[in-house]
Amino acid sequence: MRYAETGFNLEVDLTRGNIERVATDPELTELYLGGLGTNAKIQWDRVPPEVEPFSPENLLIFATGLLVGTPVVGCNRAIVSTISPQTGLMAFSMMGGFWGPELKYAGYDKLIIRGKSPDLVYLWINDDNVEIRDASHLRGKGSLEAAEMIRQELGDPKAQIASIGMAGENRVWFASIEQGRSSASRGGIGAVMGDKGLKAIAVRGTNDVNVARPAELIGMCNEVMEYIKFRNENPIPGVMPILAGLGSPQEMAIHDEKWHTENFAWGNSRVRRKGFWTEEVEKKWTDTMMGMRTRLVSCHNCPMKCGATISVPGLPTYMMKCFSKLTYTMAAMSDLEFGLKIAQSATEYGVDAFSAPQVMAFALELYEAGILTDADFPGMPSDNEERFFWLLDRIVRREGIGDVLANGTHWAAEQIGNGAQEYAHNNIKKHEQLPLKLGMLNPIYFLMYSTGEKINITQIEGNYPQAPFATREEREEFCKDWVQVPNEKFKEYFLNWELRGEKSIPHYPGIEATCEIVNWQEQMHYIDDATGMCAGLSSFPLKPPYHIHNLPTFISAATGMELDEEGLTQIAKRNRNLVRAFNIRRGMRKKDEKPPADHWKRRFPELEEELLNEYYRFKGWNEQGIPTQDSLHELSLGYVAEDFLQRGILQDKESGPSGTNSSEGSAS
Amino acid sequence: MKVEKKTKIVKTIRIDVDKCNGCRACEVICSSFHATPKYSSNNPERARIRVIHYPLRDLYVPVYAGEYAAAECAGRDRYTIDGKEYDECSFCRASCPSRDVFKEPDSGLPLKCDMCESDPSLSEPMCVQWCLADALVYEEREEEVEVVEEPEEIEIGLEAMAHKFGWQKILDTAARMSKED
């Protein structure tokens, strides 16, 4: 018997209408765990670099994490991966909610979709019965609207549904996949789903998920519940409210938005508004939220309440979480009421709440600058807020200028030309980022932004405090129960970290320490993405219930695999390198690894160069960021090394021109 | 007939639908607790508590399984509470033919909550322990009940005969007949 996982994938070929249930190789679980890890392996094996995002050979994989469907608290994520139309690289986006566990209960670890349906269809996975059904009547329907219609026609209110809106249908490059109270938003994976002619996936499962060592596992789950209770009652002192607790940042529950509104940039990621957060604004926004928020809601088997049901008077109800609360508000320089209103349309249309507002603010900046003119915006209203609604509508329909903007700021700027590129200023790897513009270079964030392949800082950062604490006493206090650190060194780095002076950014933490801190934080995310654990209880917050010391035992007790810290670290490293290898094969190199030029006012080019080179060395990558032969072999990724040699991405150490590692990247 | 006053402990779960966040941890831990061996598998379909939920209508009603009902109710009503419309079944604890909750998925046999009865006994049922939102609160209520000591069947018969024939006649007859045996 397979424990924690089902041992089966569901393979659906939409071109031929073929559906197969395929047994998986348990050895792959030992090597890559599941979720993102096994997705990366499948994509590496089956999606060669010539495959374009919108070609039928591109795979769209919905994976449940390895521990999803077990009682492990908060482990409910589905990992969706494909090739991003925007970056051309591997897109992987996670969604919580209830869809992932339902797929596991239906008896599948993954749903692998290939091909393209000639007509719009949806999938109905009901345990062993899987059908491809007509969805022509759902064309143009909102994501939540379509999901409700499907539940009605299936007559099953318990079906969990992931769907796309008009943006996905029309292949908007930042289209999301929506799932009621969660979404997989980054990288434009909704566009790939739309390209495949797939409107929705409805799932219902009634099977058992077994675990190997029940008593041990449940004991640990009970401890996690106790710890969450403790942390909910005892927030961490000395950090801003949204970082003091567990879960995704508690944007739905917390009304104090001083930090976001004054530190994040407004408009097209341009203006910081010091002194914005007045008592008057706080009262107004709190009233808005309390008037529209009907309930705080959770994901499957998790006591945190990161989401909320939002009912804007006169509009259909929708659900929201985290920072999408403010992205539209801040891009339009408006208020919360506008933000919650337009987010309703945006959720039904199915667009990424980070990219979409920025694309619209970018378009209006180009208009103000005269690069785009009235001729590009026929019929655009004069009111600022109405303009955003108007633009959103053009984008998701790909009408007029909307067709250009639907490719995101990078590609839109390339197409518009005439200096528009200067306005697409907040991208990494061609993808819009959080609107942060800060003063002094932070070496830790520099490396995370540069080398991250999740394209989203919140999915890379986490366990190490974002900023130093003011006094040594506060730092000592923080370190007292900081059991999550991999080793004591990290406490030293933090204890000595000062706000000003010699031991402050950009030169402290030192290069080696910075590499270790970045590596630790990233590693925790890669573990979560394989197990399906929500980052909000693990890799994202300070002092989470799950960490490198207890995760191996959770995995081991659930699956029966032998696993210790060293083994889990090795798997995380393997998965991380395989994702990178996939992207390297698609052409990613050092030149792509940089934060937006204006992210910090004060930059240190020499230090940055040294940081990046040193981090590459630390990771076992050559000077182009390509995993070396030695590190690939050490990670049992010999097949990647061979492929790289064949393609000339790496040169053989024996026969290469210089015979040293340092020449390996020159082939690019 | 003797009538005695006795106190009895009634185990209940107090449910606050306003506090439910719809995480369904109660379903997970219930099905795990009742697995054999204990905690060896999870399947909400086997749970003896279900959250009846319609998120976009903001309906979340945790219901734990009660008695089996052989037939479905006639004329199921709808209730509007605080502006939200609930189906009568949303509050019903029965395993019944009209819906698919509280039935073993393999056999279709009805499921019933046993308040996690076990040896040693738990402080509270597991669903309550795992509900950090306090939508489920365990309560033991002491109820004073009248316990009537029911006479045995033979006593009822004898009493009736004594009334008709008198005690002496019955004793004599009983002695004679037992000798004849």
Domain annotation covers residue A217: no
Q: How far is CA B63 from the centre of its chain?
A: 12
Domain that holds residue B157: 151-180
The reply to whether B15 and B80 lie within a common domain is yes
What DSSP string describes A145-167? HHHHHHHHHHT-TT-EEEE--HH
The reply to whether A414 and A445 lie within a common domain is no
User: At A305, is the secondary structure helix, strand, or coil?
Assistant: coil
Asked if A214's CB is within 8 angstroms of B39's CB, the reply is yes
Alpha carbon distance A626, A622 (integer Å): 5
Domain annotation covers residue A598: yes
DSSP assigned state of A200: E
Q: What Cα–Cα distance (Å) separates residue B73 from each residue in A138, A274, B94, B99, B176?
A: 35, 63, 10, 11, 59
* Global pTM value: 0.93
**A279: enclosing H helix or E strand:** helix A279-292
DSSP assigned state of A83: E
The reply to whether A176 and A271 lie within a common domain is no
- What pLDDT is attached to residue A459? 78
Asked if B129's CB is within 8 angstroms of A297's CB, the reply is no
The reply to whether A388 and A500 lie within a common domain is no
For A437-449, give one letter per residue: b (16+ CB within 10 A) or e. bbeebbbbbbbbb
- What pLDDT is attached to residue B1? 59
Note whether B86 contacts A: Cβ–Cβ < 8 A.
Answer: no
Asked if A157's CB is within 8 angstroms of B38's CB, the reply is no
Domain annotation covers residue A590: yes
The reply to whether B98 and B167 lie within a common domain is no
Alpha carbon distance A95, A299 (integer Å): 10
Q: Which two tokens stand for residue A307?
A: 């989401």
The reply to whether A158 and A294 lie within a common domain is no
The single residue listed with the structure tokens 């970018």 is A362
**A125: enclosing H helix or E strand:** strand A121-126
Chain B residues in contact with A309 by the CB 8 A cut-off are 55-56, 58
Q: Which two tokens stand for residue A137?
A: 């009547």
The reply to whether A32 and A108 lie within a common domain is yes
- What pLDDT is attached to residue A654? 58
Which phi-psi region, left, alpha or beta, contains residue A214 (left: φ > 0; alpha: ψ -120 to 50)?
alpha
- The CATH number given to whatever domain includes residue A581 is 1.10.599
The reply to whether B175 and B123 lie within a common domain is no
Question: pLDDT tens-digit profile of B111-161?
Answer: 999 999 999 999 999 999 999 999 999 999 999 888 887 888 888 888 899
- Which parts of chain A register pLDDT below 70? 654-668
The single residue listed with the structure tokens 């060194």 is A489
Question: pLDDT tens-digit profile of B89-124?
Answer: 999 999 999 888 999 999 999 999 999 999 999 999
Chain A residues in contact with B39 by the CB 8 A cut-off are 71, 211, 214-215, 217-218
Domain annotation covers residue A230: no
β partners of residue A470: none
Query: Cis omega (within 30 of 0) on the bond before A378?
Result: no
Alpha carbon distance A579, A588 (integer Å): 11
A 42-71 residues inside an 8 A Cβ radius of B = 69-71
Report whether B61 contacts B91 (CB < 8 A): yes
Q: Closest-CA residue in chain B for A181?
A: B55
**B54: enclosing H helix or E strand:** strand B49-54
- What pLDDT is attached to residue A540? 96
- What pLDDT is attached to residue A657? 45
Report whether A72 contacts A10 (CB < 8 A): no
User: At A296, is the secondary structure helix, strand, or coil?
Assistant: strand
Domain that holds residue A643: 438-667
Alpha helices of A4-142 — where are they, by DSSP H? 26-32, 36-46, 99-106
Burial of A152 (0-12, 13-18, 19+ CB in 10 A): exposed
Measure A245 CA to nearest chain B CA, in Å: 15
Alpha carbon distance A234, A244 (integer Å): 9
What DSSP string describes B3-53? EEEEEEEEEEEEE-TTT-----HHHHHHHHHTSSSTTSEE-GGG-SEEEEE
The reply to whether B7 and B89 lie within a common domain is yes
Query: Cis omega (within 30 of 0) on the bond before B105?
Result: no
Report whether A241 contacts B144 (CB < 8 A): no
* A contact test, residue of B42, B84, B90, B130 with most A CBs within 10 A: B42
- The CATH number given to whatever domain includes residue A52 is 3.60.9.10
The reply to whether B11 and B91 lie within a common domain is yes
Alpha carbon distance A656, A223 (integer Å): 54
Domain annotation covers residue A262: yes
Report whether A87 contacts A552 (CB < 8 A): no
Q: Are strands A8-13 and A110-114 parallel, antiparallel or unpaired?
A: parallel
Please choose, from the candidates A76, A61, A56, A86, the residue with its C-alpha nearest in 3D space to the C-alpha of residue A175.
A86
Dihedral (Cα; A518, A520, A522, A528), 10-degree rounding: -160
Report whether A509 contacts A517 (CB < 8 A): yes
DSSP assigned state of A177: E
Measure B80 CA to nearest chain A CA, in Å: 17
The reply to whether A44 and A108 lie within a common domain is yes
The reply to whether A71 and A142 lie within a common domain is yes
Note whether B66 contacts A: Cβ–Cβ < 8 A.
Answer: no
The reply to whether B175 and B126 lie within a common domain is no
The reply to whether B111 and B168 lie within a common domain is no
The reply to whether B161 and B108 lie within a common domain is no
Measure A191 CA to nearest chain B CA, in Å: 25
The reply to whether B62 and B115 lie within a common domain is yes
Dihedral (Cα; A653, A655, A659, A661), 10-degree rounding: -30
pLDDT at B48 over 50: yes
The reply to whether A41 and A178 lie within a common domain is yes
The reply to whether B89 and B176 lie within a common domain is no
The CB density around residue A155, as the number of other CB atoms within 10 Å, is 7
Burial of A303 (0-12, 13-18, 19+ CB in 10 A): buried
Please choose, from the candidates A217, A227, A107, the residue with its C-alpha nearest in 3D space to the C-alpha of residue A556.
A217
Alpha carbon distance A140, A121 (integer Å): 13
Contacts of A616 (CB under 8 A, 6+ apart): A590, A622, A623, A625
The reply to whether B165 and B110 lie within a common domain is no
Alpha carbon distance A194, A177 (integer Å): 10
Alpha carbon distance B81, B83 (integer Å): 5
Domain annotation covers residue A316: yes
Q: What Cα–Cα distance (Å) separates residue B74 from each residue in A390, B52, B71, B77, B100?
A: 51, 21, 9, 9, 17
Instruction: Name the domain boundary from A379, A405, A432.
Output: A432
* A contact test, residue of B16, B27, B32 with most A CBs within 10 A: B32
Alpha carbon distance A405, A319 (integer Å): 26
The reply to whether A349 and A376 lie within a common domain is no
Q: Which two tokens stand for residue B124?
A: 């509270």
Residue B38 main-chain phi, psi, to 5 deg? -50, 130
Note whether A164 contacts B: Cβ–Cβ < 8 A.
Answer: no
β partners of residue A10: A21, A111
- The CATH number given to whatever domain includes residue A296 is 1.10.569.10
The reply to whether A659 and A551 lie within a common domain is yes
Asked if B57's CB is within 8 angstroms of A296's CB, the reply is no
Number of domains in chain B: 2
Chain A residues in contact with B44 by the CB 8 A cut-off are 105
Q: Which two tokens stand for residue A35?
A: 């979720």
The reply to whether A418 and A297 lie within a common domain is no
ipTM higher than 0.85? yes
Asked if A211's CB is within 8 angstroms of B41's CB, the reply is yes
Burial of A314 (0-12, 13-18, 19+ CB in 10 A): exposed
Asked if A208's CB is within 8 angstroms of B56's CB, the reply is no
Instruction: Name the domain boundary from A329, A354, A379.
Output: A354
Q: How far is CA A284 from the centre of its chain?
A: 31
- What pLDDT is attached to residue B133? 97
A 287-306 residues inside an 8 A Cβ radius of B = 294-303, 305
The reply to whether B104 and B176 lie within a common domain is no
Half-sphere exposure of A409 (CA within 13 A, CB side): 30
Asked if B129's CB is within 8 angstroms of A301's CB, the reply is no
Note whether A309 contacts B: Cβ–Cβ < 8 A.
Answer: yes
The reply to whether A194 and A290 lie within a common domain is no
Alpha carbon distance A347, A176 (integer Å): 9
β partners of residue A202: A124, A161
Alpha carbon distance A505, A468 (integer Å): 9
Asked if B42's CB is within 8 angstroms of A211's CB, the reply is yes
Chain A residues in contact with B40 by the CB 8 A cut-off are 210-211, 214
What DSSP string describes A524-571? HHHHHHHHTB-GGGTTSSSS-S--TTTHHHHHHHHH-----HHHHHHH
For A245-269, give one letter per residue: b (16+ CB within 10 A) or e. bbbbbbbbbbbebeebbeebbbbbb
Beta strands in B46-125 (DSSP E): 49-54, 59-64, 78-81, 84-87
Number of domains in chain A: 4
Please name the member of A70, A210, A303 whose beta carbon is closest to the beta carbon of B23. A303
